[in-house]
Amino acid sequence: MPNFLIENFLNPLWENELILESKVRKTRMSAHCDDGGQKPMNFQEFCKMRRPRLDDAMFEQFCLIMGDAEQSLLLHVREALGGGKKIRGCLTMLMSEALGGEFEEVIPRAVAIELIQTASLIHDDFVDQDIVRRNLPATWTLIGARRAVLLGDIIFATAIRTMSAKSQEDGKVVSRAVALVSRGAFQEPMDGPKLIHQIESDEFNTGLYEDIIHLKTGVLFGAACQLGAIAARANEKTQEKVTQYGIRIGEAYQIEDDLKEIKRHLHTLEMHPDQMALLTPTILFYKNDAVSWISKILSGGPVRACPEIWEDLCEVSSLMERAIAARLDQACQELDGLGLREKSSELVHSAPSDLIRMFSGS
């Protein structure tokens, strides 16, 4: 890498390393505030404390992989890597801390999880033709579609490579997550006429929605928690339980995301065919007798919500809220008997609900 890039990007990280490590050591294994009567730390506060070091570690790793890439590309990459809440990587760190792990062991694993998430978003933005991400131009609009897709591929490969170098177990977890997340995205329906045919011929799989939320989102949350357990050298049984903990959180997170979209349509009272295609698995999973008006929207132009559609979407929203609560409860049940560190236990139990509140803005 050219010297000026090293000076511009990496030297500030190295100069602050002692300060950052000092802050980390002070907060390591401390899931609560001090004993002076203050309220316990929530997951949002935990993320806020860990995120700066995670951002720096991600970019440092990527600079090493990109080698002599031009400065403008590195700037775009820094923007792509630096935004967001980093909740998956922070969940990796929290699980490691709760099981007695060390920061030095968990940080590269948290980086790998967030690299996978970043690559997924870069690809998704191009596939969906979204031009904005986190109030900034989407990566593909800045460097072109071809380079954005290739950049996502590089980031995926980086995550797999670094974890495979760490251990066979780490490599297996990450490569499996990449494969399953991609499969989940691939299963999302995009073709309106094909959906109409499946619905009218009674061939549509109403269980598709559960497959999508599990693969598209649940799997990566599960992998995040499993890598945290691996970093803490947890046994296989513990890894299985924390993986299920993460999967249930991820599924609740995806349901919440879809619920926000349903509520948006309840507010605007209008739905377009392309929007309906993406929401069809969601709606038919919770309300399988909504096929008549779903087919009508898929086959025509924008449709204003009539009383029937309004009532059905309200019912779907209510059922989705219950599904979120059920999965959060299931996540916490997976923690029984794990022997979590006392200072971290309450935060790990409250993290699922905290995380959904962070996402929903409530």
**339: CB partners within 8 A, 6+ apart:** none
Among 47-61, 96-110, 219-233, name the one with the lowest average pLDDT. 47-61
Total structural domains within the chain: 1
Taken in order 170, 176, 177, 179, the sign of the CA dihedral is positive
- Report the relative pairing of strands 136-137 and 132-133 from DSSP bridges: antiparallel
pLDDT tens, position by position, 193-222: 888 888 888 888 989 999 999 999 999 999
Give me the pLDDT at residue 249, please.
98
Per-residue pLDDT band at 5 (split at 50, 70, 90): very low
Q: Which CATH number characterizes residue 241's domain?
A: 1.10.600.10
Mean residue pLDDT across the chain: 84
List the end-to-end C-alpha distance of the chain, in Å, as a whole number: 44
The C-alpha atoms of residue 180 and residue 185 are separated, in whole angstroms, by 9
Give me the pLDDT at residue 202, please.
86
User: Of 288 and 68, which is predicted with more confidence?
Assistant: 288
The C-alpha atoms of residue 277 and residue 134 are separated, in whole angstroms, by 24
Is 303 in a helix, a strand, or coil?
strand
Q: Return the percentage of the chain with pLDDT > 90, whole number.
A: 52
The single-letter code of the amino acid at 198 is: Q
Is 206 in a helix, a strand, or coil?
coil
Per-residue pLDDT band at 23 (split at 50, 70, 90): very low
Give me the pLDDT at residue 163, please.
96
Is 271 in a helix, a strand, or coil?
strand
User: Of 12 and 298, which is predicted with more confidence?
Assistant: 298
For residue 196, give its domain range: 3-360
**Among the listed residues 167, 165, 162, the one whose alpha carbon sits nearest the alpha carbon of residue 231:** 167
User: Of 56 and 347, which is predicted with more confidence?
Assistant: 347
The C-alpha atoms of residue 350 and residue 338 are separated, in whole angstroms, by 15
DSSP 52: H
Are 249 and 257 within 8 A, CB to CB? no
Around 119, how many Cα atoms within 13 Å sit in the side-chain half-sphere?
26
pLDDT tens, position by position, 227-279: 999 999 999 999 999 999 999 999 999 999 999 999 988 888 777 888 888 89
Burial of 68 (0-12, 13-18, 19+ CB in 10 A): exposed
Per-residue pLDDT band at 302 (split at 50, 70, 90): low
Kindly compute the dihedral angle of the four CA atoms of residues 54, 56, 60, 61, in this order, to the nearest 10 degrees: 10
Retrieve residue 94's tokens.
């929290």
